[in-house]
Amino acid sequence: MAMALFRRTLGDVLRERRSELGLTLREVSGTARVSLGYISEIERGQKEASSELLASLCDALEVPLSEVLRNVADAVAVEEGALAPTPIASRTKPDTVVASAA
């Protein structure tokens, strides 16, 4: 499940960046030298992107790889937070002193 979440989120981040630049899949494909169909599958979360391919896409999209990965990590963290219950211990203030009955 985590891998599918990562793939889907990576695709969303790449598609959003391509849209911000007003680029078509064909334009990114030509610049990155990656097939249009493969980029489309990556954007839809259906294919994994190798590190080399991801670097080519980032170059074509004029965005640092670190920024793409940071955006993906942030989005995944939000989804994980939405899926995982908040532990009770984290809801209390860390400096709260609990009196003992000793």
Which residue type, as a one-letter code, is found at position 38? Y
Cβ–Cβ < 8 Å for 63, 13: no
- The answer, as to whether pTM is greater than 0.85, is no
Name the CATH code of domain 2-91 (choices 3.40.50.10140, 1.10.260.40, 1.10.1840.10, 3.40.1080.10): 1.10.260.40
Q: Which two tokens stand for residue 98?
A: 């609990």
Structural domain spans, the chain: 2-91
Identify the residue with better confidence: 31 or 90: 31
Q: What is the pLDDT of residues 27-59, one digit of tens each?
A: 999 999 999 999 999 999 999 999 999 999 999
Q: How far apart are CA 8 and CA 13, in angstroms?
A: 9
Cα–Cα distances in angstroms (integers) from residue 22 to residues 31, 51, 88, in the given order = 14, 24, 45
